[in-house]
Protein backbone atom coordinates (compact mmCIF):
# COMPACT_ATOMS: atom_id res chain seq x y z
CA UNK A 1 0.00 0.00 0.00
CA UNK A 2 1.03 3.63 -0.39
CA UNK A 3 2.26 5.75 2.51
CA UNK A 4 -1.11 7.52 2.58
CA UNK A 5 -2.97 4.20 2.80
CA UNK A 6 -0.77 3.16 5.71
CA UNK A 7 -1.44 6.53 7.38
CA UNK A 8 -5.21 6.20 7.28
CA UNK A 9 -5.10 2.52 8.19
CA UNK A 10 -2.74 3.24 11.09
CA UNK A 11 -4.89 6.10 12.38
CA UNK A 12 -7.99 3.91 12.01
CA UNK A 13 -6.41 1.18 14.15
CA UNK A 14 -5.23 3.79 16.68
CA UNK A 15 -8.75 5.17 16.88
CA UNK A 16 -10.17 1.69 17.45
CA UNK A 17 -7.69 1.06 20.28
CA UNK A 18 -8.57 4.38 21.94
CA UNK A 19 -12.31 3.77 21.49
CA UNK A 20 -12.12 0.38 23.16
CA UNK A 21 -9.92 1.72 25.98
CA UNK A 22 -12.07 4.80 26.62
CA UNK A 23 -15.48 4.13 25.05
CA UNK A 24 -17.52 7.22 24.20
CA UNK A 25 -14.99 9.70 25.62
CA UNK A 26 -13.05 10.78 22.54
CA UNK A 27 -14.20 12.14 19.18
CA UNK A 28 -12.90 14.17 16.26
CA UNK A 29 -14.65 17.58 16.18
CA UNK A 30 -17.16 17.98 13.35
CA UNK A 31 -15.37 20.99 11.76
CA UNK A 32 -12.16 18.95 11.55
CA UNK A 33 -14.01 16.12 9.82
CA UNK A 34 -15.59 18.53 7.31
CA UNK A 35 -12.19 20.10 6.57
CA UNK A 36 -10.65 16.64 6.10
CA UNK A 37 -13.38 15.64 3.64
CA UNK A 38 -12.79 18.83 1.65
CA UNK A 39 -9.03 18.24 1.47
CA UNK A 40 -9.58 14.63 0.36
CA UNK A 41 -11.97 15.86 -2.33
CA UNK A 42 -9.36 18.35 -3.56
CA UNK A 43 -6.77 15.56 -3.59
CA UNK A 44 -8.96 13.34 -5.76
CA UNK A 45 -9.64 16.26 -8.09
CA UNK A 46 -5.91 16.70 -8.51
CA UNK A 47 -5.68 13.29 -10.19
CA UNK A 48 -7.42 14.67 -13.28
CA UNK A 49 -4.37 15.58 -15.36
CA UNK A 50 -4.57 16.78 -18.95
CA UNK A 51 -1.96 14.15 -19.88
CA UNK A 52 -4.29 11.43 -18.58
CA UNK A 53 -7.11 12.68 -20.79
CA UNK A 54 -4.75 12.75 -23.77
CA UNK A 55 -3.61 9.16 -23.09
CA UNK A 56 -7.14 7.78 -23.51
CA UNK A 57 -8.55 10.41 -25.89
CA UNK A 58 -8.84 8.04 -28.85
CA UNK A 59 -10.43 5.27 -26.80
CA UNK A 60 -12.52 7.27 -24.35
CA UNK A 61 -15.88 5.60 -25.20
CA UNK A 62 -14.46 2.16 -24.35
CA UNK A 63 -12.71 3.47 -21.24
CA UNK A 64 -15.94 5.14 -20.11
CA UNK A 65 -17.91 1.92 -20.64
CA UNK A 66 -15.32 -0.12 -18.73
CA UNK A 67 -15.38 2.39 -15.87
CA UNK A 68 -19.18 2.33 -15.79
CA UNK A 69 -19.06 -1.47 -15.88
CA UNK A 70 -16.72 -1.50 -12.90
CA UNK A 71 -19.07 0.75 -10.94
CA UNK A 72 -22.03 -1.46 -11.86
CA UNK A 73 -20.10 -4.57 -10.81
CA UNK A 74 -19.15 -2.90 -7.52
CA UNK A 75 -22.74 -1.99 -6.74
CA UNK A 76 -23.89 -5.47 -7.79
CA UNK A 77 -21.36 -7.04 -5.44
CA UNK A 78 -22.59 -4.73 -2.69
CA UNK A 79 -26.23 -5.69 -3.25
CA UNK A 80 -25.33 -9.39 -3.22
CA UNK A 81 -23.37 -8.89 -0.01
CA UNK A 82 -26.33 -7.09 1.59
CA UNK A 83 -28.56 -10.08 0.79
CA UNK A 84 -26.14 -12.70 2.12
CA UNK A 85 -24.61 -10.94 5.13
CA UNK A 86 -25.85 -8.81 8.06
CA UNK A 87 -25.17 -5.41 6.49
CA UNK A 88 -27.39 -2.75 4.92
CA UNK A 89 -27.38 -1.81 1.23
CA UNK A 90 -25.69 1.59 1.59
CA UNK A 91 -22.84 0.21 3.69
CA UNK A 92 -22.31 -2.84 1.49
CA UNK A 93 -22.40 -0.81 -1.73
CA UNK A 94 -19.95 1.84 -0.53
CA UNK A 95 -17.72 -0.84 0.94
CA UNK A 96 -17.45 -2.60 -2.42
CA UNK A 97 -16.92 0.44 -4.69
CA UNK A 98 -13.69 -0.28 -6.55
CA UNK A 99 -11.55 2.80 -6.02
CA UNK A 100 -11.35 5.90 -3.88
CA UNK A 101 -11.26 4.04 -0.56
CA UNK A 102 -10.56 7.17 1.47
CA UNK A 103 -13.33 9.07 -0.27
CA UNK A 104 -15.83 6.26 0.29
CA UNK A 105 -15.01 6.16 4.00
CA UNK A 106 -15.16 9.95 4.30
CA UNK A 107 -18.60 10.24 2.65
CA UNK A 108 -20.15 7.15 4.27
CA UNK A 109 -21.72 8.95 7.23
CA UNK A 110 -23.37 11.56 4.99
CA UNK A 111 -24.98 8.76 2.97
CA UNK A 112 -26.39 6.92 5.97
CA UNK A 113 -23.84 4.09 5.80
CA UNK A 114 -21.78 2.68 8.67
CA UNK A 115 -18.36 4.19 7.98
CA UNK A 116 -16.67 1.69 10.30
CA UNK A 117 -17.78 -1.25 8.17
CA UNK A 118 -17.12 0.67 4.95
CA UNK A 119 -13.54 1.24 6.13
CA UNK A 120 -13.12 -2.45 6.94
CA UNK A 121 -14.38 -3.56 3.52
CA UNK A 122 -12.45 -0.94 1.53
CA UNK A 123 -9.11 -1.64 3.19
CA UNK A 124 -9.58 -5.39 3.07
CA UNK A 125 -10.10 -4.97 -0.70
CA UNK A 126 -6.89 -2.96 -0.99
CA UNK A 127 -4.88 -5.51 1.00
CA UNK A 128 -6.14 -8.37 -1.21
CA UNK A 129 -5.41 -6.48 -4.43
CA UNK A 130 -1.98 -5.28 -3.31
CA UNK A 131 -1.07 -8.85 -2.35
CA UNK A 132 -2.41 -10.57 -5.47
CA UNK A 133 -1.75 -8.11 -8.32
CA UNK A 134 2.07 -8.56 -8.53
CA UNK A 135 1.67 -12.34 -8.41
CA UNK A 136 -1.03 -12.44 -11.09
CA UNK A 137 0.84 -9.98 -13.31
CA UNK A 138 3.97 -12.15 -13.16
CA UNK A 139 2.25 -15.53 -13.60
CA UNK A 140 -0.60 -14.80 -16.00
CA UNK A 141 0.84 -12.22 -18.40
CA UNK A 142 3.92 -11.87 -20.56
CA UNK A 143 6.11 -8.86 -19.73
CA UNK A 144 5.13 -5.75 -21.65
CA UNK A 145 7.39 -3.74 -23.97
CA UNK A 146 7.20 -0.74 -21.66
CA UNK A 147 5.52 2.57 -22.23
CA UNK A 148 5.74 6.20 -21.24
CA UNK A 149 6.53 6.75 -17.58
CA UNK A 150 3.88 8.10 -15.26
CA UNK A 151 3.74 9.30 -11.71
CA UNK A 152 1.05 10.16 -9.21
CA UNK A 153 0.56 13.86 -8.39
CA UNK A 154 2.97 14.88 -5.66
CA UNK A 155 5.51 17.42 -4.51
CA UNK A 156 7.54 18.53 -1.49
CA UNK A 157 6.08 17.20 1.76
CA UNK A 158 5.44 20.66 3.20
CA UNK A 159 4.16 21.97 -0.14
CA UNK A 160 4.67 25.38 -1.72
CA UNK A 161 2.92 28.51 -0.47
CA UNK A 162 0.85 28.67 -3.67
CA UNK A 163 -0.32 25.07 -3.18
CA UNK A 164 -1.50 25.90 0.34
CA UNK A 165 -3.28 29.03 -0.82
CA UNK A 166 -5.03 27.32 -3.74
CA UNK A 167 -5.95 24.25 -1.67
CA UNK A 168 -7.45 26.33 1.15
CA UNK A 169 -9.35 28.49 -1.33
CA UNK A 170 -10.68 25.45 -3.21
CA UNK A 171 -11.73 23.73 0.03
CA UNK A 172 -13.41 26.84 1.47
CA UNK A 173 -15.27 27.54 -1.77
CA UNK A 174 -16.25 23.88 -2.09
CA UNK A 175 -17.65 23.65 1.44
CA UNK A 176 -19.56 26.92 0.93
CA UNK A 177 -20.96 25.60 -2.36
CA UNK A 178 -21.93 22.29 -0.73
CA UNK A 179 -24.02 24.17 1.83
CA UNK A 180 -26.04 25.81 -0.92
CA UNK A 181 -26.35 22.93 -3.39
CA UNK A 182 -28.04 19.72 -2.14
CA UNK A 183 -25.37 17.21 -3.20
CA UNK A 184 -24.84 13.85 -1.49
CA UNK A 185 -21.42 14.03 0.19
CA UNK A 186 -21.16 17.61 -1.07
CA UNK A 187 -18.31 18.59 1.25
CA UNK A 188 -16.16 16.09 -0.66
CA UNK A 189 -17.62 16.36 -4.17
CA UNK A 190 -17.68 20.15 -4.49
CA UNK A 191 -13.98 20.66 -3.61
CA UNK A 192 -13.16 17.73 -5.89
CA UNK A 193 -14.90 19.38 -8.85
CA UNK A 194 -13.23 22.74 -8.19
CA UNK A 195 -9.78 21.15 -7.80
CA UNK A 196 -10.26 19.19 -11.03
CA UNK A 197 -11.13 22.41 -12.85
CA UNK A 198 -8.05 24.19 -11.49
CA UNK A 199 -5.81 21.23 -12.36
CA UNK A 200 -7.06 21.06 -15.95
CA UNK A 201 -6.99 24.80 -16.60
CA UNK A 202 -3.61 25.54 -15.00
CA UNK A 203 -0.21 24.55 -16.43
CA UNK A 204 0.94 21.04 -15.59
CA UNK A 205 2.29 20.82 -12.04
CA UNK A 206 1.08 24.32 -11.15
CA UNK A 207 -1.11 23.06 -8.30
CA UNK A 208 -1.01 20.02 -6.04
CA UNK A 209 -2.50 19.51 -2.59
CA UNK A 210 0.40 19.77 -0.10
CA UNK A 211 1.22 16.20 1.01
CA UNK A 212 1.43 17.33 4.64
CA UNK A 213 -2.12 18.67 4.53
CA UNK A 214 -3.38 15.69 2.55
CA UNK A 215 -1.91 13.19 4.99
CA UNK A 216 -3.27 15.15 7.98
CA UNK A 217 -6.73 14.83 6.40
CA UNK A 218 -6.27 11.08 6.00
CA UNK A 219 -5.26 10.78 9.66
CA UNK A 220 -8.28 12.84 10.76
CA UNK A 221 -10.70 10.64 8.80
CA UNK A 222 -9.06 7.46 10.09
CA UNK A 223 -9.25 8.61 13.69
CA UNK A 224 -12.84 9.82 13.29
CA UNK A 225 -13.96 6.42 12.03
CA UNK A 226 -11.86 4.41 14.49
CA UNK A 227 -13.07 6.31 17.54
CA UNK A 228 -16.64 5.17 16.84
CA UNK A 229 -15.84 1.45 16.93
CA UNK A 230 -17.34 -0.75 19.64
CA UNK A 231 -16.99 -4.39 20.62
CA UNK A 232 -20.25 -5.01 18.76
CA UNK A 233 -18.76 -3.56 15.59
CA UNK A 234 -15.75 -5.86 15.85
CA UNK A 235 -18.03 -8.88 16.26
CA UNK A 236 -19.95 -7.82 13.14
CA UNK A 237 -16.67 -7.51 11.21
CA UNK A 238 -15.82 -11.07 12.18
CA UNK A 239 -19.10 -12.27 10.67
CA UNK A 240 -18.47 -10.27 7.49
CA UNK A 241 -14.88 -11.38 6.83
CA UNK A 242 -15.55 -14.40 4.61
CA UNK A 243 -18.49 -12.89 2.64
CA UNK A 244 -16.49 -9.71 1.95
CA UNK A 245 -13.45 -11.70 0.81
CA UNK A 246 -15.62 -13.67 -1.61
CA UNK A 247 -17.21 -10.46 -2.89
CA UNK A 248 -13.78 -8.89 -3.48
CA UNK A 249 -12.55 -11.95 -5.40
CA UNK A 250 -15.73 -11.92 -7.48
CA UNK A 251 -15.23 -8.23 -8.25
CA UNK A 252 -11.65 -8.92 -9.33
CA UNK A 253 -12.91 -11.64 -11.68
CA UNK A 254 -15.46 -9.29 -13.29
CA UNK A 255 -12.80 -6.60 -13.71
CA UNK A 256 -10.55 -9.17 -15.42
CA UNK A 257 -13.37 -9.80 -17.93
CA UNK A 258 -13.68 -6.05 -18.49
CA UNK A 259 -9.92 -5.97 -19.07
CA UNK A 260 -10.28 -8.58 -21.80
CA UNK A 261 -12.88 -6.39 -23.49
CA UNK A 262 -10.65 -3.32 -23.16
CA UNK A 263 -7.69 -5.17 -24.69
CA UNK A 264 -9.86 -6.48 -27.54
CA UNK A 265 -11.17 -3.04 -28.51
CA UNK A 266 -8.13 -0.79 -27.97
CA UNK A 267 -4.40 -0.98 -28.76
CA UNK A 268 -3.70 -1.80 -25.09
CA UNK A 269 -2.09 -5.16 -24.33
CA UNK A 270 -3.89 -7.57 -22.01
CA UNK A 271 -1.37 -6.73 -19.28
CA UNK A 272 -2.00 -2.99 -19.71
CA UNK A 273 -5.76 -3.55 -19.65
CA UNK A 274 -5.66 -5.82 -16.61
CA UNK A 275 -3.63 -3.35 -14.56
CA UNK A 276 -5.79 -0.47 -15.77
CA UNK A 277 -8.98 -2.21 -14.59
CA UNK A 278 -7.72 -3.74 -11.34
CA UNK A 279 -10.27 -2.63 -8.73
CA UNK A 280 -8.13 -0.34 -6.59
CA UNK A 281 -4.70 -0.04 -5.03
CA UNK A 282 -3.56 2.60 -7.54
CA UNK A 283 -0.02 3.27 -6.18
CA UNK A 284 0.76 -0.45 -5.97
CA UNK A 285 -0.75 -1.12 -9.40
CA UNK A 286 1.32 1.68 -10.94
CA UNK A 287 4.47 0.23 -9.36
CA UNK A 288 3.65 -3.18 -10.87
CA UNK A 289 3.04 -1.51 -14.26
CA UNK A 290 6.47 0.11 -14.23
CA UNK A 291 8.19 -3.08 -13.08
CA UNK A 292 6.45 -5.34 -15.59
CA UNK A 293 7.02 -3.18 -18.67
CA UNK A 294 3.37 -2.18 -19.03
CA UNK A 295 2.29 1.21 -20.40
CA UNK A 296 2.16 3.01 -17.06
CA UNK A 297 0.73 6.22 -18.54
CA UNK A 298 -2.26 4.32 -19.94
CA UNK A 299 -2.71 2.46 -16.64
CA UNK A 300 -2.61 5.69 -14.64
CA UNK A 301 -4.99 7.42 -17.05
CA UNK A 302 -7.68 4.73 -16.90
CA UNK A 303 -7.31 4.23 -13.14
CA UNK A 304 -7.44 7.98 -12.44
CA UNK A 305 -10.50 8.61 -14.60
CA UNK A 306 -12.26 5.64 -13.05
CA UNK A 307 -11.39 6.93 -9.58
CA UNK A 308 -12.99 10.26 -10.44
CA UNK A 309 -16.10 8.51 -11.78
CA UNK A 310 -16.40 6.34 -8.68
CA UNK A 311 -16.16 9.22 -6.24
CA UNK A 312 -18.45 11.46 -8.32
CA UNK A 313 -21.20 8.97 -9.18
CA UNK A 314 -21.18 6.50 -6.27
CA UNK A 315 -22.95 8.83 -3.79
CA UNK A 316 -25.94 9.25 -6.11
CA UNK A 317 -26.09 5.54 -6.96
CA UNK A 318 -25.76 4.43 -3.35
CA UNK A 319 -28.44 6.85 -2.17
CA UNK A 320 -30.82 5.56 -4.86
CA UNK A 321 -30.14 1.92 -3.99
CA UNK A 322 -30.60 2.58 -0.28
CA UNK A 323 -33.93 4.32 -0.95
CA UNK A 324 -35.17 1.39 -3.02
CA UNK A 325 -34.21 -1.02 -0.26
CA UNK A 326 -36.40 0.67 2.35
* Per-residue pLDDT at 193 exceeds 80: yes
Res 171 pLDDT > 90: yes
Q: Any idea which of 114-118, 194-198, 225-229, 253-257 has the lowest mean pLDDT?
A: 225-229
pLDDT in tens, 7-51: 777 888 898 899 999 887 888 898 998 998 899 888 878 877 666
Q: HEC profile for the chain?
A: CCHHHHHHHHHHHHHHHHHHHCCCCCCCCHHHHHHHHHHHHHHHHCCCCHHHHHHCHHHHHHHHHHHHHHHHHHHHHHHHHHHHCCCCHHHHHHHHCCCCHHHHHHHHHHHCCCHHHHHHHHHHHHHHHHHHHHHHHHHHCCCCCCCCCCCCCCCCCCCCHHHHHHHHHHHHHHHHHHHHCCCCCHHHHHHHHHHHHHHHHCCCCCCCCCHHHHHHHHHHHHHHHHCCCCHHHHHHHHHHHHHHHHHHHHHHHHHHHHHHHHHHHCCCCHHHHHHHHCCCCHHHHHHHHHHHCCCHHHHHHHHHHHHHHHHHHHHHHHHHHHHHHC
Q: Which of 285, 283, 281, 253 is nearest to 272 (CA)?
A: 285
Q: Could you report the per-residue pLDDT of 69-113, keeping only the tens digit for each? A: 998 999 999 999 999 888 899 999 999 988 777 778 888 888 889
pLDDT digits (tens, 9 = 90+) for 205-218: 788 889 889 889 88
The confidence score (pLDDT) of residue 219 equals: 87
Average pLDDT, integer, range 40-64: 78
Q: Tell me what pLDDT residue 10 has.
A: 83
| pLDDT above 90: residue 63 | no
Q: If 0-12 CB within 10 Å is exposed, 13-18 middle and 19+ buried, where does residue 231 land?
A: exposed
pLDDT for res 24: 78
Question: In the prediction, which pLDDT does 284 show?
Answer: 64
- Mean pLDDT over each residue of the chain, to the nearest integer: 83
Q: What is the pLDDT of residue 326?
A: 54
Q: Which of 152-156, 166-170, 178-182, 272-276 tops mean pLDDT?
A: 166-170
Region 283-297 average pLDDT: 70
Task: Pick the more confident residue, 204 or 86.
Answer: 86
Q: Cα angle at 190 between 248 and 6, to 5 degrees?
A: 40
Q: What is the pLDDT of residue 282?
A: 67
- pLDDT tens digits, residue range 307-318? 778 888 888 888
Count CA within 13 A, CB hemisphere, residue 23.
6
Q: 146 pLDDT exceeds 60? A: no
**Residues 254-263 pLDDT 10s:** 999 999 999 9
Q: Name the band, by pLDDT with cuts 50, 70 and 90, for residue 245.
A: very high
Residue 3 has pLDDT above 60, yes or no: no
> With pLDDT > 90 as the criterion, what percentage of the chain qualifies?
23
pLDDT of residue 169: 96
In this model, does residue 246 exceed pLDDT 90?
A: yes
* Cα Dmax for the chain: 56
Residue 279 reports pLDDT greater than 80: yes
Q: Which of 74-78, 266-270, 304-308 has the highest mean pLDDT?
A: 74-78
Residue 31's pLDDT is 92
Amino acid sequence: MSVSSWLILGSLLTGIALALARPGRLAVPRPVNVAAQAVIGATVGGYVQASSLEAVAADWPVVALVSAGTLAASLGAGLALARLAPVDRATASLGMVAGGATGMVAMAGDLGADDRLVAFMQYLRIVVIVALTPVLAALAFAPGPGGPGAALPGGPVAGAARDWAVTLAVCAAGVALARRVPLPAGTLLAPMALAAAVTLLAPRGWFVVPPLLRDAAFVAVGLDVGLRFTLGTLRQIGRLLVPVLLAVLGLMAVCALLAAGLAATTPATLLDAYLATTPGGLPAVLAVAVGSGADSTFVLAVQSLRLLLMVAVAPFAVRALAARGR
